[in-house]
Amino acid sequence: MPFDDQSTLASPTGAALNLYVRRAEGKLRAVVQINHGLAEHAARYARFADFLSRRGYHVYAHDHRGHGFTRAPDAPQGRFGERDGGAKVLADVAVVHELIAKNHAGVPVIVFGHSMGGLIALNFVLRHSGRVHAAAVWNANFTAGVSGRLALAILAWERFRLGSDVPSRILPKLTFQAWSKVMPGHRTPFDWLSRDPVEVDRYVADPLCGWDASVSLWRDLFGLIFNGADDASFSEVRKALPFHLVGGAKDPATNGGKAVEHLARRMRRLGFSNLVSTVYPETRHESLNEVNRDTVMADFAMWLDKVLN
């Protein structure tokens, strides 16, 4: 089922956010705020929203800057913004969060993010944990380290060489293209997303998916990664806040889920006691579009039951 509503929400960053809402069937239990991944858009989460709706959850999902149908003067497709793109994306998330609080005062809000959305979701929680009931960070990699510093150097060289904020030519070769080539039965440039060929083909056929990100967008993403990799960033977050971390054992974007396990170990070391972390066997990058998605979603629903009770 598609979303119930599609509207435009004005953000103080200058963006006109394309926002989808799916209302709960029956009594409202909580609101799930979805943050989508890189080079995709929020409408791809309609099946997940329908699943949550049947269990009593409102779902709010917007297209981030440079994605989907969201429009901003400084953010054409593939770019967060001319400058301070990461901060603007987080400000846009806050605007949606404030709308949820206005429309559903006192109702618990669970912030959810997949991949790039996981980077965004965690960084939002690091700034606004007091406003969040729980957080789900799926298929996100906060372990850039030396390779991340090297990537930033490559991006700085590209920006100097190309002279403007155009799509990076090198980063896609080191990420998406490299990841797909190692998949068994390599068929398309996006086999690394899922074992389900129907879902992969839908992604390939979607004109709003699969484009190459700009140099500045890559730089903004690494800014989010490095902030989430800094233990000091977690200092103001309450230790009892529930977290749900998910990865796939065959996801090259998270080094086979090892990046997810690393984040879980870090957070437990920092004192986060209410944390669930699962790496699903044989699962690639898009857990919600994988052949075992029913199991993944059912596990998430059980976790929601626990954190709400």
Q: What is the pLDDT along the chain (309 residues), one digit of tens a residue?
A: 589 999 999 999 999 999 999 999 999 999 999 999 999 999 999 999 999 999 999 999 999 999 999 999 999 999 999 999 999 999 999 999 999 999 999 999 999 999 999 999 999 999 999 999 999 999 999 997 667 777 778 888 887 787 668 888 888 888 888 898 889 888 999 999 999 999 999 999 999 999 999 999 999 999 999 999 999 999 999 999 999 999 999 999 999 999 999 999 999 999 999 999 999 999 999 999 999 999 999 999 999 999 998
Q: What is the pLDDT of residue 1?
A: 59
Cα pseudo-dihedral 117, 303, 2, 40, rounded to 10: 20
Q: What is the pLDDT of residue 88?
A: 98
Alpha-carbon distance of 230 to 178, in angstroms, equals 28
Three state DSSP letters for the chain: CCCCEEEEEECCCCCEEEEEEECCCCCCCEEEEEECCCCCCHHHHHHHHHHHHCCCEEEEEECCCCCCCCECCCCCCCCCCCCCHHHHHHHHHHHHHHHHHHHCCCCCEEEEEECHHHHHHHHHHHHHHHHCCEEEEECCCCCCHHHHHHHHHHHHHHHHHHCCCCECCCHHHHCHHHHHHCCCCCCCCCHHHCCCHHHHHHHHHCCCCCCCCEHHHHHHHHHHHHHHCCHHHHCCCCCCCCEEEEEECCCHHHCCCHHHHHHHHHHHHCCCCCEEEEEECCCCCCHHHCCCHHHHHHHHHHHHHHHHC
Alpha-carbon distance of 136 to 243, in angstroms, equals 6
CA dihedral sign of residues 190, 251, 90, 106: positive
The length of the chain, given as a count of residues: 309
Q: What is the pLDDT of residue 177?
A: 87
Task: Please tell me the pTM assigned to this model.
Answer: 0.96
Give the right CATH number for 5-308 from 3.40.50.1820, 3.40.430.10, 2.60.40.10, 3.40.50.300.
3.40.50.1820
Q: What is the pLDDT of residue 146?
A: 64
Residue given tokens 């990058």 in the structure block: 285
